Structure 1
Amino acid sequence: MSPGDESERPYLRIAEAIRHRITTGALRPGDRVPSTRQVVRDFGVAMATATRALAVLRDEGLVVTRVGSGTAVRAPDPPRRGGRAPGRELTTERIVATGVAVADAEGLDAVSMRRLAAELGVGPMSLYRHLSGREELEHLMAEAVFRAYPLPEPGPPGWRAKLELVSRVEWSAYRGHPWLPELVSLTRPLLTPEAMAHIEWILRALDGLPLTPAERAREAVTLSALVRGLALSVAAEVQAERETGVANDQWWITLDDEVRALMGSGRFPRLAAVYGEEMRDLDGLLNHALARHLDGLAARLARSAAEP
């Protein structure tokens, strides 16, 4: 291979193979593309080569990497409006939907009344005929997201299945909208029916269990806090990727030598023995934390049942 023959470089050949699957429809928008580890296995290349191949596809806008959910084929961006679409009146619902779309793509800081006005093709002051300002907008954005993730009625049988379900619904909402945890507070909760319904659902799942009112209240808050806490890590990583342009897997590749040196120094033998991607797998961390939390609640209920 001559030095100038770029087409023969392994990472470009891998990128072309995945690109072909996307352009032919074998991989459709939203489908996950092979992970770096799968590329390493399938193509017999080093991790750095696999990472570089996926970086090429990201740079081309064909795929997008979302923290905790891997790399997927990117959906086409909605067309930007240069003016108000014919026959579509400006409504609160349109403003809120546009705010959610901007926050999903660029983060909560990108949402402003001026930005939304530009997206909708209207003057900024026209938005204030529908909203009092940024605070109300954020409130309605959170409300809209919670509404899009309804809880089933009556839900699965058993308190444990119900608590696991509500936790995973919230996790899906946070994963789909990484800015949402910033708006959810334990000390100043969102007073919207859609958000309050999640707490009510948890409390109903605890009906009939031998718990005090204080324990029920704390369980409802603690369970939601567990999910939100991990979701804040997702939000922080998404923001870091936006600011640096470096995906999480690429960032770890750059630290590979330093990590190996630290783990091989003998200073951290226990950490070195268990260190791996499991510590960065947010879905796996949620599964572990949720299982251990519910195990603890089950043990508490078992003690109550055993008491005379």
Structure 2
Amino acid sequence: MIPPYQRIVAEITRRITAGELAPGDRVPSARQVAKEWEVALATATKALTTLRQNGLVETQPRVGTVVAADRPRPRAAAPERELTRERVVRAAIDIADAEGLAALSMRGIAARLGVAAMSPYRHVASKGDLVLMMADAVFSETSLPVHPPAHWRARVEVGVRALWELHRAHPWLAQLGPLTRPMLVPSLLAYSEWTLTGLSELGLDPTTTFDLNVLLYSHVLGLSVHLEREAQAEGATGLSTEQWMDGQARNLGRLAPAHPTFARIMSTFAETGYDLDLDALFELGLRSILDGLERRGPGTAMAVAVTSSREPGRWSGSRPSTAG
């Protein structure tokens, strides 16, 4: 009896060979394969891994699995390397980068590495522990300058932009938990130290300084969360952002007249167009926050709305954030 994953491999190979899937075309994701063939997610992942080993498909971050441009003849599988914690973590990062955090499973990681389903547990106690290791690994990818900029604003900009670029490369980072339940990983604390050192030059009280650190981090999270959601939405609907918006034109035309300012702005966009650019929004938000701080100047007292709700020695509804 042919194993289920081999039947999937054979069918997708046929589609590629027959030209139904051309180079660069997206291949069904592991979840889509699991649904179409009614198999476990680990089986679907093993099938895609086999196709990748055969050189028929390749993984592109934030795109998914696509038909390879150059398809060499199937190669014999390379001898299995020793399984290590680093290999498990890297395989998990690759899966999350390509298909999102929801597609991550220990069985899927095992299938990707070509090892027994329970093998990763020899190196990682649980999926929760694995996710923390993944976060620590990717936050360690971008090193901050050895010699920081002299001015507080330049230093803060360097740190916050580095965080944004990291979330752009790994959008699943924004899905790991709420701001009130921070990830206590060493490499993220390094970003906090960098930003807090710059903010400390403003001469503000500790609470305000830390609040600003959290605010800047939440600015990164608030935008980067939509990178992952858009990838999920496109995978589920098969529509790009532009295609989806085109389909909403009738609803927009029906709702806009009741809101004159919104309608006026939309009528302008009908001529000029509008591109919701997350990178541009990130820069606008960062500039607005830092411009406001710079106008106040070092040593100027700042009112913090939540201060009155805090009691000495207590966190008001949350623990301290390790925000970068």
TM-score between the two structures when normalised by the length of structure 2: 0.65
Higher RCO structure, 1 or 2 (CA under 8 Å, sep 6+): 2
Partner of 1:272: 263
Amino acid paired to 1:284: A
- The secondary structure found in structure 1 opposite 2:284 is helix
Matched, 1:285 2:278: no
Say if 2:170 is the partner of 1:177: yes
Contact 2:152–2:201 (Cα < 8 Å) also in 1: no
Residues 301 and 78 (structure 1), Cα distance of their counterparts in 2 relative to 1, 3 Å cut: farther
Instruction: Give distance in 2, aligned partners of 1:283 and 1:295.
Output: 18
For residue 155 of structure 1, the aligned residue among 142, 148, 166 is 148
Is the contact made by 1:210 and 1:301 (CA closer than 8 Å) also made in structure 2? Answer: no
Paired residue for 1:107, among 92, 100, 103?
100
Deviations 1:187-216 (A, max 9, x none): 221111101111111011123322111111
Identity of aligned residues (%): 41
Where do 5+ consecutive residues of structure 1 fail to align?
1-18, 23-60, 68-72
Deviations 1:202-245 (Å, cap 9, x if unpaired)?
01112332211111111111110111111112222121112212
- Find the aligned partners of 2:105 and 2:140 in 1 and give their Cα distance: 22
TM value normalised by structure 1: 0.69
2:142 counterpart letter in structure 1: Y
CA root-mean-square deviation: 3.4
Q: C-alpha distance in 2, partners of 1:133/1:228?
A: 25
User: Once the two structures are superposed, what CA deviation does each residue of 1:132-169 show, in whole Å capped at 9, x if it has no partner?
Assistant: 01011101111111111222222333111121221111
Q: Deviations over 1:43-100 (max 9, x none)?
A: xxxxxxxxxxxxxxxxxx9998969xxxxx9987999x99974262111111111101
**1:253-272 aligned within 5 A:** 253-263=246-256, 265=257, 267-272=258-263
CA distance in 1, matches of 2:147, 2:76: 45
Q: CA deviation at 1:288?
A: 1.2
SS at 1:124 equivalent: coil
Unaligned 5+ runs, structure 2? 1-21, 25-56, 302-324
Cα distance, 1:117 vs structure 2: 0.5
Q: Is the 8 A contact 2:139 2:187 kept in 1?
A: yes
2:194 to 177, 198, 201: 201
Distance 1:197 1:88 in 2: 33
Say if 1:162 and 1:205, in contact at 8 Å, map to a contact too.
yes
Determine the C-alpha separation between the residues in 1 that align with 2:111 and 2:71.
Answer: 14
Match of residue 92 from structure 1: 85
Partner residue of 1:216?
209
